[in-house]
Amino acid sequence: MNDSPLLAATAPQHEALPLAGLLTLASAGFITILTEAMPAGLLPQMSAGLGVSQALVGQLVTLYALGSLLAAIPLTLLTRGWRRRPLLLIAIGGFALVNSVTAFSSHYGLTLIARFFAGVFAGLLWALLAGYASRMVAPHLQGRAIAVAMLGAPLALSLGVPAGTLLGTLVGWRTSFAIMTGLTLLLLVWARWQLPDFAGEPASKRLGLHNVLTLPGIRPVLWVTLTYVLAHNILYTYIAPLLVPAGIGGDIDRVLLVFGLMALLSIWLVGIWIDRHLRLLTLISCAMFAVAALLLGLWISSPISLYISVALWGLAFGGLAALLQTALAKSAGHSADAAQSMLVTVWNLGIAGGGLAGGLLLQSFGVEVFPWAVLGLMSLAVGAILGKTTHAR
């Protein structure tokens, strides 16, 4: 996780963050997450509009995740030699295309295909964002730059998805996706103006996927990603039944608002200290999530305890993506994009695995076992971080 001399040699020596460019990257992430999650908030409307059940509309989110999972690594490897800005513009422009198809399609199968390719473009975009942000600044500002570029995701989840759901209720889901297309086209123009261009990875310096995976620091970061995201999604996917023992099953919107606000605070705090205390912040994040799980496990029927646990959980999780992507960027050097594509794949595996594991645990043991499963997974994550610390020393 030490600063890479390769990145230092290619990054411009800006002593101040290029906020316009970094916020452009954050806006791309915002549109990506909003495109992914919008169907979840508009299930009844899309079900009626497409003439299928709400369960089938839910598969629009599944196909999106599948597209990201399958495409992130191969697409990133195939385009390693491409110049970065044109490639990023293609990824952003893809969202204008697929959201247009979604807005005008009356055929469920065509909509499914559009959502799959939305996930493909998302897998490519998320593999590019961290490396792009890190190349825009000097090495000692890379973590802060990545934190700003990652701001779009929690903003989309905490503010964008509720706003998109409200908009879809007011003007219809097709109009909502059409508006998303318009915003994406505006972002394309803005990105072309604000973002610098960078050369692709020289053929002489391209490492094979296995060689990237064996670089020092890569595997521990991916392991922390898998265990943490798996634990997070066990709770997040089944947040509704998790609130029932405390008697606040109807407060899901308030609970998620607390989570979202604390996640935004987390990103701000991580952005301040990430370049000086990367490993310590990652360890604190894991420990804080473990404490939240412990409180939840001991007092799952207490509303006050639940809200405190969710606040700690949001504070722990908000800056996680920036921490992990910064760690990979610093470890991978010129192979940062390939490493980030692995993170995208592992992250989506964690999402899918969390939904599956949470469902099995819920059916077999009930929500009371969720906190203890999270605690076990976080102990594995902490072990990987401490083991990496020992190795580095």
Contact 23, 150 (CB under 8 A): no
For residue 206, the model assigns a pLDDT of 66
Residues comprising the chain, all counted: 393
Among 172, 205, 238, give the residue marking a domain's end: 205
Expressed as residue numbers, the domain containing 157 is 5-205
CA distances (Å), origin 290, targets 33, 59, 234, 258, 363:
26, 31, 14, 18, 23
CA-to-CA distance for 182 and 95, rounded, in angstroms? 10
Identify whether residues 9 and 158 lie together within a single domain: yes
Identify whether residues 269 and 365 lie together within a single domain: yes
For residue 15, the model assigns a pLDDT of 65
Identify whether residues 29 and 171 lie together within a single domain: yes
Contact 226, 343 (CB under 8 A): no
CA-to-CA distance for 366 and 355, rounded, in angstroms? 14
Identify whether residues 33 and 146 lie together within a single domain: yes
Q: Write a three-state SS string for 243-292.
A: CHHHCCHHHHHHHHHHHHHHHHHHHHHHHHHCCCCHHHHHHHHHHHHHHH
Q: State the DSSP code for 197.
A: P
In the chain, how many domains are there? Answer: 2
Among 163, 181, 205, give the residue marking a domain's end: 205
Identify whether residues 295 and 199 lie together within a single domain: no
pTM above 0.85, yes or no: no
Identify whether residues 388 and 288 lie together within a single domain: yes
CA-to-CA distance for 250 and 265, rounded, in angstroms? 25
Among 205, 228, 249, give the residue marking a domain's end: 205
Identify whether residues 91 and 13 lie together within a single domain: yes
For residue 89, the model assigns a pLDDT of 96
Contact 3, 330 (CB under 8 A): yes
For residue 5, the model assigns a pLDDT of 39
Identify whether residues 318 and 172 lie together within a single domain: no
Identify whether residues 61 and 110 lie together within a single domain: yes
For residue 10, the model assigns a pLDDT of 44
Buried residues in 39-60 as b, exposed as e (16+ CB within 10 A): bebbbebbbebbebeeeebebb
List the one residue out of 371, 381, 155, 350 whose CA is nearest residue 284: 381
What is the pLDDT tens value at each position of the chain, 393 positions in all?
444 433 434 444 456 789 899 999 999 999 998 888 788 778 788 888 999 887 788 788 778 888 888 888 899 888 888 899 999 999 999 999 999 999 999 999 999 999 999 999 999 998 898 889 988 988 888 888 888 888 888 788 777 777 777 788 888 899 999 999 999 999 999 999 999 999 877 766 667 677 787 788 888 999 999 999 999 988 887 887 888 898 887 777 788 788 888 988 998 899 888 888 888 999 999 999 999 999 999 999 999 999 999 999 999 998 898 899 888 888 877 777 788 888 888 888 888 788 788 888 888 898 899 999 999 999 999 988 887 544 443
Domain containing residue 323: CATH number: 1.20.1250.20
Identify whether residues 177 and 269 lie together within a single domain: no
List the one residue out of 126, 362, 115, 335 whose CA is nearest residue 216: 335
Give the residue carrying structure tokens 């293609």. 90
Identify whether residues 185 and 214 lie together within a single domain: no
Identify whether residues 233 and 169 lie together within a single domain: no
